[in-house]
Amino acid sequence: MRLTEDPRWLGFVKRYCNSLPAFMAVVIGREPTWQQLELLEAVTPPGSRVSVRSGHGTGKSASLACVALWHLLCFPKSNTMITAPKIEQVRNVAWKEMADAVDLIRQGVEGWIADYIGFETERIYIKHYKQQWFIFAKTAPRGSPENLAGMHRDWYMVIADEASGIPDPNYAVMTGALTDARNRMVMFSQPTRPSGFFYDTHHKLAKHNGGVWTSLCMDSRHSPLVSLDFVEEKRDEYTEEEFTIKVLGEFPETRDGYLLGRPHAEACFGRVAVQPDEPHGFLIAVDVGAGEYRDKSVAVLARVTGHGEYGADARRVQVLDVPVFSNTRNLQGLAGDVFVLASELESAGVLVDAGGMGVAVCQSLEDKGLPDVRRVKWGAPCFQNRNRERYFNLRAQAMVAASRAAKEGRLGIAGGRWQRELLDQMSRIPYTYDEKARYVIERKDEMRKAGLPSPDVWDAICFLFLEGAHYTQRENLDAQSGMSPGERMAAMADALFADV
């Protein structure tokens, strides 16, 4: 039997088509929170336009699943498109939530209707109407918004997940399909950027400014689904801007586009961040130039302590010297200089940029028998799951951590002929957020096009804040005699800082 022939269906439609909250509470069996209730009531009227900015854990994904299944089951031959910046986002989040919701429907008081739902990888449909009555997933490659065109239906709905990361040209196509007065559109996202169509739906296109969009905020602090302990944990873990986006559900209105301002950068010079008599280790960070005049090969010598990005054990770094700072050093010469310096220091670890020609430097140091050479691969994803959720790659993790340390007084830098260049580099690192609200650092080739300096010295300093940049603690910290040349270099740097 077809759904439209089932005598129970018309009664079902009358009970729920004008009440999304009742559908969630009775059909799915989930009592909506006050934030979800506000959202569901806003979506219910035909022709609704709703845009939701949200923090962590507010039930956004469960709400999305509820809206999509309500539209499927309550409106004849309806079509619902769910889109996101990447199709994997739809499969991994929206489809999973809808599968869970269908299971709950099957167990509930209206469980009979679940038997009419067909489920495939990218299509959920009403049985016997597979090509007419369905929910489907679709995205458009950047630069090809026309891939989203072609849909028109009496009962048509567009649901955009991670909406802040969807290219703006896509919205012109999606909204252009909403030609019937009954068509709806709903957007969900963490508010990652203070510009674009999603941002506008909360500002100039919002109802409170005379527009058509109902704009809602689901603040994690006010959600019954989020504990106070979680909020306080994220307050410590996140930068202020991350907390604004991911917990408060608000746009970062004051963003200037750079990770670190010049005043915070200048404050690092002459600062004592690690005392010579406290437990610490030595690390040498090496950024290998690309062989062009613009890029320099750099080696940074630093005293380090601590391991975390925040809290009592947060990483602290004292940059003692930049003994290599040259755009003419050949790879063998660079490897030789680093080998000598590392050999003169007690248990010094060496972090080397392993991209491009840096591989040869790593190989040379390993061939010379240097025991602790770690290859840095900027573009690789983070190792720790919590960092994978915050950063696009290791480069983003290290640069955000270093910038945070500079702001919090955990980075001290010796002055030198590199100081002016380093100041420019530190204060001109552009960043954005991706569709998952993860930090993304601008690519070097894009920085070059914008006339920004190549951050060679700053890159090397950031290596020292990588999640895997462990150190071996020195012994005999009070010993004053028998120092190697490298240790004397560190001691001289300490003497320079002593009067600060």
Measured between alpha carbons, how far is 103 from 105 in angstroms, rounded to an integer? Answer: 5
Tell me which amino acid residue 395 is.
R
pLDDT at 485 over 70: no
For the chain, helix, strand, coil in percent to 5 are 40, 20, 40
CA–CA distances in Å: residue 440 to residues 163, 178, 274, 288: 17, 33, 29, 22
Amino acid at 412: G
| CA separation for the pair 12, 17 (Å, rounded) | 8
Q: Is a pLDDT exceeding 60 seen at residue 497?
A: no
Angstrom distance (rounded) from CA 290 to CA 360: 12
What tokens were used for 212? 């058509």
Handedness of CA 269, 273, 277, 282 (dihedral sign): negative
Q: Using pLDDT thresholds of 50, 70 and 90, give the confidence band for residue 293.
A: very low
For 46-57, the pLDDT digits (tens) are 999 999 999 999
- CA dist 16 and 33 (Å) reads 18
Beta strands in 89-138 (DSSP E): 117-119, 123-126, 134-137
Enumerate the β-bridge partners of residue 81.
136, 158
Within 10 angstroms of residue 124's Cβ, the number of other Cβ atoms is 23
Q: pLDDT tens digits, residue range 422-438?
A: 999 999 999 999 988 99
Q: Contact, 289 vs 456, CB < 8 A?
A: yes
pLDDT in tens, 117-130: 999 888 999 999 99
Q: What is the mean predicted confidence (pLDDT) over 162-175?
A: 90
Q: Which of 161 and 445 is assigned the larger pLDDT?
A: 161
Buried b / exposed e across 2-32, counting CB within 10 Å, b at 16+? ebeeeeebeebeeebbebbbbbbbbbbebeb
When pLDDT is averaged across residues 42-66 and rounded to a whole number, the result is: 96
Distance CA 397, CA 69 (A): 38
**Maximum C-alpha span of the chain:** 94
Domains and CATH numbers, the chain: 3-246 (3.40.50.300), 262-498 (3.30.420.240)
pLDDT on residue 96: 92
Residues 389-409, mean pLDDT to the nearest whole number:
96
**Two tokens at 165?**
């990361």
Would you say residue 491 has pLDDT above 60?
no
